[in-house]
Chain A
Amino acid sequence: MTILKSMLTGAAALALTAPAAMAEWQPRKPVEFIIMAGTGGGADQIARLLQGLIQKKDLSPRPFIPINKPGGSGAEALRYLQDKAGDDHVVMMTLNSFYTTPIIQDELGVDPTEFTPIALMAMDTFLLWVNTDRDDINDLDSYVAAVKEAGLNWKVGGTGSGQEDSVLTAMMEAEFGYDVTYIPFSGGGTVAKNLVGNQIDSTVNNPAEQMEFYRAGNSKPLVQFTGERQAAFPDVPTTKELGIDIEYYMQRSVNGPPNMDPEAVAWYTDLFQTLFDSEEWQSYCKSDGLTCDNMMTGEELAGFHTKQFAAHKELIAKVGAAAITGE
């Protein structure tokens, strides 16, 4: 009886709120939150944090469901999102393979600038890491010397051919004139573990992926690929200070499929703005070396994507796609 009563009350409440809900777009079914990378890496950590926050703060009438689609350095996810054109109930957490994968795998037929930009949540950075056991390597110079001596015996771990860390590795090879062996692993977490276990010699990980090992004294950063020193790493020199022409950032943005309903875009933008401004997100940014000063959205983000896409095309043309895929 009580159940019936509460159902009736619910229905009445629904009838009352229905007109209000019509005014603004809201998700009507669970939202797929695609992650174009494997579990445990930076993008995955961020997406799961955001999903948790959405539910904790009750920001969406329908749940967000994180789904990892790591296949082919994100190709699977890109293709999936492209095929979802016009669907308002799917968004994707992206990283730089959003640009690099469509360039390297041109048979994929994906143009990242056609997706609907929603929100740039953060800019992530890269650092060059080695195991703390390497007493002989304390700065970039001793690193380059060690790599040159080892030649192809030097093993760099990464998250997959065509992934941004492989691009950065290729950029370093071109800059310093050495050749290393690049070994793809299944995610940022696995790379970090292999570095700590001395299975590989160095890696370019994001701060989030190495932070705990760094704090435990298992790995050490040599240089940050940025213009300015980050608060989390005040003692680590930047490439700019050392006069090296490599600055590389990772965008962490949320994008939807092509041709999303503008009202839906507005709703998602509001949602991610609330998340962006939340204390939890800002403190996560601080502790993990992410730059989260202001959130880029809409046209501005579209412009950013176009620029980044062109920049990556140039970059890949310069180092050569073969240097990245290793085939």
Chain B
Amino acid sequence: METVITALGSGLLEAFQPLNLFMIFAGCLAGLFVGCMPGLGSVNGVAILLPVTFLVPPTTAIIFLAALYYGAMYGGAISSITLGIPGASTAVATVFDGRPMAQQGKADKALMAAAIASFIGGSVSIVLFTLFAPPLAAFALKFGPQEEFALMLLAFATFIGLGGDDIPKTIFSILLGLVLAAVGFDIISGRPRLIFFDMVEFQRGIGFLVLAIGVYGVGEMLWTLETTKGTVQMHKVNIGWQRMKENFKDVKIYINSTWLGSFLGFFVGTLPAAGATPAALMSYGLSKTFSKDPDSYGKGNISGVAAPEAANNAASTGSMLPMITLGIPGSPTTAILLGGMIIWGLRPGPLLFTESPDFVWGLIGSMYVANFVTVILNIALIPVFIRVLAMPFTMLTPVIFTLCVLGVFATTDRMFDNWLMLIIGVMAYFLRKLNYPVAPAVLAIVLGPLAERSLRQSLISSQGDAMTFFERPISLVCILIALLLVSYPLIAKMLKKRNAQQPAQ
């Protein structure tokens, strides 16, 4: 314990050096900016700013990149709330309640909740990281394909009830997402699947962002244009000091969801291959399940913004754990950080903690500072982000479309995905009009490949014996929790009915 404190102290001192502090500030700002563009995320920012960092020492460089990573994580919520387009898979759940809040003229409240929840999530995660990195890394190793699959079941279980009231249409939407996720090469057999019209472009598969931006950026946008008859302009928000103070007081409404999201997010994030997206979804789902008023979720409940935001920030900090302790990237962004570390002659792996303590603790120290800097920057910039909503629709619409088109292009560098985005968008618009819920499809395309792969890996390793999921303790516990979650709303409803009937008797 004492060693941790001294090490952290020296790490914080490192982070507070003028150059490092400046780099943290610059990194957070750049990250925030890149992250708030739909389609662009920390991957773009980190990859591109890598060369800049050759000019500074390795510790400063990684501090800068980590700050950028933090900034981008916060930034993801901004486009989800103001534009209604999830800029990254981690921010999908933030749209569910963030978008309605913006439409009700409460964008500033949603942004504030996102910032504060992110801060708490990040803080919880860093503290846990500091205290328990080695034992958590050992625990993460116990996670094989079986446990991964059980975790995915858990994630699916939490988003039962995210769909609409039309059950066949909701099921259709989930299945469609799962099937679209199977397009491209099958990782297990290496065989191409569902290559429509024999177009080689489909070998690459249908990316999450193509679907998400198609559905939310094009489909939802067309739908909003129609329902508002061209007056997309949101309610104007006048942000004054008074309103900001009020917004701070909202914290007590969503603090429980935030704690839930923070711990859940950290835990899920530390598991290799899981990452921040399932964490955010599970947090949203759980927060809704245990809420006193689950029906208000999806209609602008502030807890619905806080829960996923706390979780995705906690998880992105958590996903640094497998990278630093084991040398395994937990997300594409950490993969690039990993690349940077190799260039600087640092070997991520189990020995990094003991061989380069200055570096590791400098990084951890900078995470504390970056978290502070980002939340302050973010809150200070809320009035700027709100201004976007005050733009007239004939200016906002082309800007949104431009960002969608370029965001999709930037992820895969091919026009094919843009055409796909347009087709998906128009389809989504028609489906939306006919009361097909679209969110389940977007979520399914993220979780589908993870679930299928871990399922098949597990079954290959058990030679086709499905009992393997129940024989392993961690996986069994996850499955039991999943079953509980699926049945919980039913049980709650039954209890409610009984309670309601009793006085009548």
Q: Decide: A55 and B54 in contact? CB cutoff 8 A.
A: yes
Q: Decide: A181 and B463 in contact? CB cutoff 8 A.
A: yes
Q: How far apart are the CA atoms of A14 and B328 in the complex, in Å? A: 44
Is the CB of B141 closer than 8 A to any CB of chain A?
A: yes
Q: Decide: A56 and B192 in contact? CB cutoff 8 A.
A: no
Q: Decide: A190 and B273 in contact? CB cutoff 8 A.
A: yes
Taking the closest CB of chain A, its distance from the CB of B85, in whole angstroms, is 24
Instruction: With A71-B184, A194-B144 given, name 6 new contacts (CB 8 A).
Output: A189-B329, A192-B328, A196-B326, A197-B141, A212-B349, A325-B189
Is the CB of B176 closer than 8 A to any CB of chain A?
A: no
Q: How far apart are the CA atoms of A104 and B190 in the complex, in Å? A: 9
Taking the closest CB of chain B, its distance from the CB of A182, in whole angstroms, is 8
Chain A positions 152-209 with a Cβ under 8 Å from a chain B Cβ: 152-153, 155, 160-162, 181-186, 189-190, 192-194, 196-200
Q: Decide: B204 and A71 in contact? CB cutoff 8 A.
A: yes
Taking the closest CB of chain B, its distance from the CB of A245, in whole angstroms, is 27
7 contacts between A and B (CB under 8 A): A39-B329, A55-B50, A71-B204, A72-B203, A184-B457, A216-B350, A218-B350
Q: Which 5 A-B pairs have the closest CB atoms?
A: A212-B349, A72-B185, A48-B339, A197-B141, A199-B144
Give the residues in chain A near B272, CB-CB below 8 Å: 190, 193
Taking the closest CB of chain B, its distance from the CB of A177, in whole angstroms, is 19
Q: Decide: B342 and A63 in contact? CB cutoff 8 A.
A: no
A162-B190, A184-B188 given as contacts; is B203 within 8 A of A79 (CB)?
yes
| B355: nearest chain-A partner, CB-CB | A215
| In-complex Cβ contact of B185 among A75, A190, A192, A200 (8 A) | A75
Q: Decide: B200 and A79 in contact? CB cutoff 8 A.
A: yes
Is the CB of A304 closer than 8 A to any CB of chain B?
A: no
Q: How far apart are the CA atoms of A218 and B138 in the complex, in Å? A: 12
Q: How far apart are the CA atoms of A297 and B494 in the complex, in Å? A: 74
| A109: nearest chain-B partner, CB-CB | B200
A61-73: CB near B (< 8 Å → 1, else 0) gives 0010111010111
Is the CB of A53 closer than 8 A to any CB of chain B?
A: yes
Is the CB of A114 closer than 8 A to any CB of chain B?
A: no
| In-complex Cβ contact of B326 among A71, A76, A193, A326 (8 A) | A193
Q: Decide: B190 and A67 in contact? CB cutoff 8 A.
A: no
Is the CB of B351 closer than 8 A to any CB of chain A?
A: yes
Give the residues in chain B near A51, CB-CB below 8 Å: 339
Q: How far apart are the CA atoms of A32 and B342 in the complex, in Å? A: 21
Taking the closest CB of chain B, its distance from the CB of A285, in whole angstroms, is 13
A56-B54, A72-B185, A76-B204 given as contacts; is B190 within 8 A of A160 (CB)?
yes
Q: Decide: B350 and A63 in contact? CB cutoff 8 A.
A: no
Q: B residues bordering A, Cβ < 8 Å?
A: 47, 50-51, 54, 140-145, 184-192, 200, 203-205, 272-273, 322, 326-329, 332, 335-336, 338-340, 342-343, 347-351, 413, 453, 457, 460-461, 463
Q: Decide: B343 and A71 in contact? CB cutoff 8 A.
A: no
Is the CB of A52 closer than 8 A to any CB of chain B?
A: yes
Q: How far apart are the CA atoms of A200 and B349 in the complex, in Å? A: 19
Give the residues in chain A near B185, CB-CB below 8 Å: 71-73, 75-76
Is the CB of A105 closer than 8 A to any CB of chain B?
A: yes
Is the CB of A249 closer than 8 A to any CB of chain B?
A: no
Q: Decide: A39 and B203 in contact? CB cutoff 8 A.
A: no
Taking the closest CB of chain B, its distance from the CB of A313, in whole angstroms, is 17
A53-B343, A56-B54 given as contacts; is B335 within 8 A of A155 (CB)?
no
Chain A positions 64-100 with a Cβ under 8 Å from a chain B Cβ: 65-67, 69, 71-73, 75-76, 79, 83
Q: Decide: B192 and A72 in contact? CB cutoff 8 A.
A: yes
Q: Decide: B189 and A161 in contact? CB cutoff 8 A.
A: yes
Q: Decide: B327 and A189 in contact? CB cutoff 8 A.
A: yes
Give the residues in chain B near A160, CB-CB below 8 Å: 187, 190
Taking the closest CB of chain B, its distance from the CB of A57, in whole angstroms, is 9
Give the residues in chain A near B273, CB-CB below 8 Å: 186, 190
Q: How far apart are the CA atoms of A152 and B328 in the complex, in Å? A: 28
Q: How far apart are the CA atoms of A190 and B187 in the complex, in Å? A: 14
A8-40: CB near B (< 8 Å → 1, else 0) gives 000000000000000000000000100000011
Give the residues in chain A near B335, CB-CB below 8 Å: 39-40, 44
Is the CB of A45 closer than 8 A to any CB of chain B?
A: yes
A39-B329, A76-B185, A212-B351 given as contacts; is B204 within 8 A of A196 (CB)?
no
Q: How far apart are the CA atoms of A186 and B322 in the complex, in Å? A: 16
| B347: nearest chain-A partner, CB-CB | A212
Most interface-central of A40, A67, A213, A215 (chain B CB within 10 A): A40
Is the CB of A7 closer than 8 A to any CB of chain B?
A: no
